[in-house]
């Protein structure tokens, strides 16, 4: 299914760009121009990125492994 009819970008193409590291609508636009003409597809792109199309690195892991000592030192 087409996400961006202005440039003929499909959902699969958006997912592929997300797998390659494009994790925001702006990065998707840089990769394939989707969202740069009329803008009507930007919300659809946001929805696709929000549904796991973009692999997210585990952010909480380093924070949890460092414990509270770093916070206590900062206080």
pLDDT tens track for 36-61? 999 999 999 999 998 655 555 554 44
Tens of pLDDT along 2-20? 999 999 999 999 999 999 9
The Cβ-side half-sphere exposure at 53, using a 13 Å CA radius, reads 21
Structure tokens at 20: 């390659």
Report how far apart, in Å, the C-alpha atoms of 64 and of each of 10, 43, 56, 60 are: 38, 33, 17, 6
pTM above 0.85, yes or no: no
Question: What would the two tokens of residue 2 be?
Answer: 């087409």
Lookup: tokens for 74: 């900062």
């Amino acid at each position: 299914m087409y996400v961006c009819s202005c440039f003929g970008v499909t959902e699969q193409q958006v997912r592929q760009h997300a797998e390659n590291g494009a994790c925001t609508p702006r990065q998707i636009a840089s990769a394939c121009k989707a969202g740069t003409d009329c803008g009507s597809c930007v919300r659809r792109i946001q929805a696709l990125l929000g549904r796991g199309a973009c692999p997210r690195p585990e952010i909480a892991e380093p924070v949890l492994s460092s414990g509270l000592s770093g916070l206590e030192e900062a206080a």
